């Protein structure tokens, strides 16, 4: 990864921040975005004293112009990205489908699906001349239904896998690979905060995982590094589970 340019959307916390630290520790040049300025600048500051190269650009992936600006900044500072990790996402609404407003539905699609479209569009334009690897964060909710009031998120994450496959086929002859991560619950800070409000829920989820525990970012990072690397050059259009076996049956 030394000297490679790595772009990460949704890098201000959780999996994206862990990926930013991991790539920077391998001497890559990392540029990452999110909406929260303080968190972004804090991570930038934390990475640099360890010798890493990281730049935060405040950008909302639902806004096409901000994503275009993010890619322009990436090219200006470090050159076109070698790797893009499109990780920004969030479940914005929990409740029965029949009570969901059209706005709640479209806002959920905007961040989880349209955000990936905006990112793919400008990353592909920037990578066209030299190729690259793009990794989209989907979810187990992108390969199976979930009957717990997150229908918009489920629809969006299914869409992420569809976009991944279509983009992979369009770009296969241009040396741009596009793959997706099928992740289950990950113990990120924000996830743990949500669980704190629901006593017993974490234990219940862990008990339901075939592997018997909930994942941590350390379980996911090796797959991201592999898909980013030259060791995975024959893999494209894949939605790869790193989910403790939950989608196996």
Ligand X SMILES: NC(=O)c1ccc[n+]([C@@H]2O[C@H](COP(=O)([O-])OP(=O)(O)OC[C@H]3O[C@@H](n4cnc5c(N)ncnc54)[C@H](OP(=O)(O)O)[C@@H]3O)[C@@H](O)[C@H]2O)c1
Contacts with 142 (C-beta within 8 Å, 6 or more apart), sequence order = 154, 157, 158, 159, 160, 161, 180, 182, 239
| 217 neighbors 158 (Cβ within 8 angstroms) | no
Q: 206: helix, coil or strand?
A: helix
Minimum gap (Å) between residue 121 Cβ and ligand X: 15
Could you say whether residue 90 binds ligand X (CB under 6 A)?
yes
Q: Which is closer to ligand X, CB of 129 or CB of 212?
A: 212
The first and second tokens of residue 123, run together, are 């990353």
Minimum gap (Å) between residue 2 Cβ and ligand X: 25
Instruction: Single out the segment in contact with ligand X by CB under 6 A; choices: 46-54, 98-106, 122-130, 186-194.
Output: 186-194
| 75 neighbors 126 (Cβ within 8 angstroms) | yes
Minimum gap (Å) between residue 5 Cβ and ligand X: 19
Q: 65: helix, coil or strand?
A: helix
Chain residue whose CB lies nearest ligand X: 14
Could you say whether residue 143 binds ligand X (CB under 6 A)?
no
Could you say whether residue 81 binds ligand X (CB under 6 A)?
no
Which of the 8 DSSP states describes residue 74? Answer: H
Instruction: Specify the residue for token string 């983009």.
Output: 167
| 22 neighbors 50 (Cβ within 8 angstroms) | no
Binding mask 100-139 for ligand X (x = CB under 6 A): -----------x---x---------------------x-x
Q: Which is closer to ligand X, CB of 37 or CB of 233?
A: 37
Minimum gap (Å) between residue 193 Cβ and ligand X: 10
Integer Cα distance of 127 and 53 in angstroms: 21
Could you say whether residue 194 binds ligand X (CB under 6 A)?
no
* Residue 93 falls in the annotated catalytic set: no
Could you say whether residue 13 binds ligand X (CB under 6 A)?
yes
Chain centroid to Cα 62, Å, comes to 14
Could you say whether residue 241 binds ligand X (CB under 6 A)?
no
Minimum gap (Å) between residue 151 Cβ and ligand X: 15
Crossing angle of helices 151-171 and 115-127, rounded to 10°: 20
Integer Cα distance of 186 and 154 in angstroms: 17
Could you say whether residue 148 binds ligand X (CB under 6 A)?
no
The residues that touch ligand X, with contacts defined as CB under 6 A, are: 9-16, 33-36, 39, 60-62, 87-90, 111, 115, 137, 139, 183, 185-186, 188, 190-191
Catalytic site positions: 153
């Amino acid at each position: 990864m030394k000297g490679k340019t790595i772009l990460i959307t949704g890098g201000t916390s959780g999996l994206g921040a862990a990926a930013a630290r991991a790539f920077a520790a391998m001497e890559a040049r990392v540029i990452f975005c999110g909406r929260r300025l303080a968190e972004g600048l804090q991570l930038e500051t934390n990475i640099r004293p360890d010798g890493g190269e990281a730049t935060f650009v405040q950008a909302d992936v639902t806004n096409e112009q901000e994503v275009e600006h993010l890619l322009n900044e990436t090219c200006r500072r470090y050159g076109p990205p070698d790797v893009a990790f499109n990780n920004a996402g969030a479940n914005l609404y929990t409740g029965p489908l029949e009570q969901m407003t059209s706005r709640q539905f479209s806002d959920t699609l905007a961040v989880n699906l349209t955000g990936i479209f905006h990112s793919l569009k400008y990353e592909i334009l920037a990578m066209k001349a030299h190729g690259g690897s793009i990794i989209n964060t989907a979810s187990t909710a992108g390969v199976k239904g979930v009957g717990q009031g997150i229908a918009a998120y489920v629809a969006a994450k299914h869409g992420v896998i569809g976009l991944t496959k279509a983009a992979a086929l369009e770009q296969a002859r241009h040396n741009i690979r596009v793959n997706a991560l099928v992740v289950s619950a990950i113990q990120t800070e924000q996830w743990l905060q949500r669980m704190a409000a629901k006593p017993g829920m974490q234990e219940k989820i862990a008990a339901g995982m075939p592997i018997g525990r909930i994942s941590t970012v350390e379980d996911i990072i090796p797959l991201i590094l592999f898909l980013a690397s030259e060791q995975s050059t024959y893999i494209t259009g894949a939605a790869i589970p790193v989910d403790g076996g939950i989608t196996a049956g």
